[in-house]
Amino acid sequence: MPLNNTIGFFRILLTLILAMCLRIVPLSDDLALLNPDWVLLVLIYWSLYLPDRVGIFHAWIFGLFTDVLLGRMLGQYALAYSIIIFVCLKFHKRLRQFPLLQQGLFIFFCLLLSQLLLFFIKNLQHPAQLHASFWLPVFTGTLIWPFVYGVLSFVSLFRRIK
């Protein structure tokens, strides 16, 4: 593996580890409801812009790490992340051409699908009702997408990851 590929791999890995740290940052109860799924946002970015480097396997692995990190049933985040990244990989050539606003709409539906899958899996274990807090991470994740896009674009352009 050439040095540039190794540096690129560690840069991607570092952004995913930072996203996992942001996922578990201690917040007050009100702010914790607004915390978006940082790991999924970073996975979506890398799968859209480097689909040959970040794919379904990476989504599955980091989904398992997220399950362990959050103390959830093993495999639920892995399944949700894998399905979302599959959709991203399927449409990555079109999505890269869209303006940021249209990408934001796609991100909204990806985050919504992820939340629905997680809610469905949770509902299989313990029947629960859908609350208004269900929507908050979806909206905040959509609103934070331009920031995530900008930061990760800067990281990927700093030494051109290939």
pLDDT, one tens digit per residue, over 82-134 is 999 999 999 999 998 999 889 999 999 999 999 999 999 888 878 877 777 88
Greatest distance between any 2 Cα atoms in the chain = 51
The CA-to-CA distance between both ends of the chain, in Å, stands at 12
Residue 101 lies in a domain: yes
Query: Concatenated DSSP letters for 101-135?
Result: HHHHHHHHHHHHHHHHHHHHHHHHHS-----GGGT
Question: pLDDT tens for residues 12-64?
Answer: 999 999 999 999 999 898 888 899 999 999 999 999 999 999 999 999 999 99
Residue 91 structure tokens: 């449409």
Residue 48 lies in a domain: yes
Residue-level pLDDT at 144: 96
Residue 19 lies in a domain: yes
Residue 109 structure tokens: 């539906």
Residue 59 lies in a domain: yes
Domain that holds residue 82: 3-24+36-158
Residue 20 lies in a domain: yes
In which residue are the tokens 């791999």 written? 9
Residue 31 lies in a domain: no
Residue 29 lies in a domain: no
Residue-level pLDDT at 14: 95
Residue 98 lies in a domain: yes
The one-character DSSP state at 73 is: P
Q: Which residue has the higher pLDDT, 89 or 4?
A: 89
* Cα–Cα distance, 84 to 101 (Å, whole number): 19
* Cα–Cα distance, 79 to 102 (Å, whole number): 25
Chain-wide mean pLDDT for the chain?
Answer: 90
Residue 132 structure tokens: 């208004």
| Cβ neighbour number for residue 9 with a 10 Å cutoff | 14
Judge if pTM exceeds 0.75: yes
HSE at residue 45, side-chain half, CA atoms within 13 A, is: 26
Domain tally for the chain? 1
Residue 28 structure tokens: 């007050």
